Amino acid sequence: MRRLNHQLKQLCKYNRDGSYGTQVQRERQLTLIANQLFELGFRQMQAKSLRPKHVEGLVRLWLDSGIAAGTMKNRMAALRWWAGKVNKQNVVARSNDHYGLLRRQYVNGAARVIPVLMDHLEKITDPYVKMSLELQQAFGLRREEAIKIRPRMADKGDTLWLKASWTKGGRARDVPIRNERQREILDRARALAGAGSLIPADTTYIQQLKRYEGQCIRAGLSRAHRFRHGYAQERYRELTGWEAPAAGGPAKKSLSLDQRAQDISARQTIARELGHGRVEVSAVYLGR
């Protein structure tokens, strides 16, 4: 057993906080977190070596994985418990808003994503960061994809082609260019980047990522991942003719047989366009 896994297991063993079910769930969450930290490259960690960079790395991984807001909230609670037990309370921010984690509203019983105000984009001063955010909004791209993309190479006329090395899991994919707004945004991205990417020539990816994060926080766009939710719900409405459950539309159980077939087809298309291998992940963006 890895050192961090063992130490977290011991923390759980000697700190029996909460009900039995809570204890079991916490230990499972911390085991998963330890494994994910190892996969992120933190190979020599101990329980007492928890740092903000570890928390931020985990949050980026969870956001890119598209897991449910409630799941992320539970994992953050486990992280705070761990931090408290090793006297590192200040390592984890008190509010999940600091990390851009999704909140949920409930409209007619369905989880609904709060729309990101496009006005906030006007507060972004770095033209490359602003362009990346516009591409995220228009094409449902992940943050890394919207930074690494080479617009001239990606533009295939009626589709946006994402090279494998830009994407999560190394899976190339195509996203349709469906309207004039997308075309206008992509044309501006091409003009800004020239033959390169949306990383300035004198900047590394990590440097641009940090610049992106700082600009988003200052502009009130710390939850820019919601652009993918907006894209998914817009596409669902286009493909089916009605709102997704997460946007206040009908739940699957209330659909007719023909509508259920449309629902399944739309979810498959949207999952593919968002770069997910499993159609079930679409529920994170669309509801059930």
**No. of helices (H) and no. of strands (E), the chain:** 12, 4
- Distance in angstroms (rounded) separating the CA atoms of residues 128 and 214: 13
- Distance in angstroms (rounded) separating the CA atoms of residues 49 and 267: 42
Tokens of 281: 């992940």
Ordered per-residue pLDDT tens for the chain, 288 residues: 789 999 999 999 999 888 887 888 899 999 999 999 998 899 889 999 999 999 988 988 887 766 767 788 889 999 999 999 999 999 998 888 777 765 544 333 333 333 444 667 788 999 999 999 999 999 999 999 999 999 999 999 999 999 999 998 788 999 999 999 999 999 999 999 999 999 999 999 999 999 998 888 888 776 667 788 889 999 999 999 999 998 888 988 899 999 999 999 999 999 999 998 888 888 888 988
- Distance in angstroms (rounded) separating the CA atoms of residues 76 and 80: 6
Tokens of 274: 């968002």
Domain boundaries, the chain: 3-101, 125-219, 227-286
- Distance in angstroms (rounded) separating the CA atoms of residues 118 and 226: 12
